[in-house]
């Protein structure tokens, strides 16, 4: 029986052990949304995928749909944050992935959310950013894209267009009000 291969970029949000040598990854993709994908034998020392599938990395994946889980059969072009920013970036990535795993259920197209996260990952690596402002901006955009946000005039401007340095600077001026909006949305969502 022939299997159809799907090539897709993905953001690895987390993983857990599965059996003796396997690992089950939670991955956000633009076309398939939040998926669970199994990498067989990835914990073995001879595995070629072992070091490419690290948490919070952006990768290009070769996937096959399985009965219970997607299966990872190839990984290309892995990217992780720069080591000088990694200690500041990892807490942000952990918070974002926790919110995503709780708010997104099932496989549903998530192109806007994926593109926003990819841009945040790029900005985190490009310069010394204020990670607090990045966190507020991505949370506003994530909750807005999922429909949980009560949109005010300021949040509408932050939700439109692509993420940019100017949007990060806008956050700095009204962070307290935006955090109130985020907290209201999280309470409404039941998190």
The encoded tokens of residue 160 equal 């439109």
Res 26: pLDDT: 95
The encoded tokens of residue 162 equal 């692509």
Contact 59, 7 (CB under 8 A): no
Res 27: pLDDT: 94
Q: What is the dihedral of CA 157, 135, 33, 181, to 10 degrees?
A: -50
> Mean pLDDT of residues grouped by 10 in the chain (191 residues)?
83 91 93 92 83 87 91 83 68 89 86 90 69 87 84 72 81 86 84 66
Res 154: pLDDT: 63
Across the chain, the runs of DSSP E, i.e. the strands, are 5-18, 22-29, 33-39, 58-65, 70-79
10 Å CB burial of residue 175 (0-12, 13-18, 19+) is: middle
**Sole residue written with tokens 């901006």:** 137
Helix (H, G, I), strand (E, B) or coil at 111: helix
pTM listed for this prediction: 0.86
The encoded tokens of residue 40 equal 């067989």
Res 60: pLDDT: 93
Helix (H, G, I), strand (E, B) or coil at 78: strand
What kind and span of H or E run contains 169?
helix 165-173
Domains of the chain: 5-79 (2.40.50.140), 83-189 (no CATH)
Contact 101, 14 (CB under 8 A): yes
């Amino acid at each position: 029986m022939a299997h159809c291969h799907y090539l897709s970029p993905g953001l690895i949000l987390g993983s857990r052990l599965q059996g003796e040598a396997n690992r089950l990854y939670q991955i956000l993709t633009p076309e398939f949304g939040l998926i669970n994908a199994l990498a067989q034998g990835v914990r073995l020392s001879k595995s070629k995928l072992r070091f490419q599938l690290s948490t919070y990395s952006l990768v290009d994946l070769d996937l096959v749909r399985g009965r219970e889980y997607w299966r990872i059969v190839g990984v290309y072009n892995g990217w992780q944050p720069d080591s000088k920013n990694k200690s500041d970036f990892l807490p942000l990535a952990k918070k974002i992935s926790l919110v995503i795993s709780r708010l997104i259920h099932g496989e549903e197209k998530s192109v806007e959310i994926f593109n926003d996260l990819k841009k945040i990952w790029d900005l985190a690596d490009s310069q010394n950013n204020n990670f607090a402002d990045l966190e507020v901006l991505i949370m506003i955009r994530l909750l807005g894209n999922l429909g949980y946000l009560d949109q005010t005039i300021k949040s509408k401007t932050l939700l439109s267009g692509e993420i940019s340095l100017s949007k990060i600077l806008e956050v700095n001026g009204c962070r307290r009000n935006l955090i109130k909006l985020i907290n209201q949305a999280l309470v409404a969502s039941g998190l």
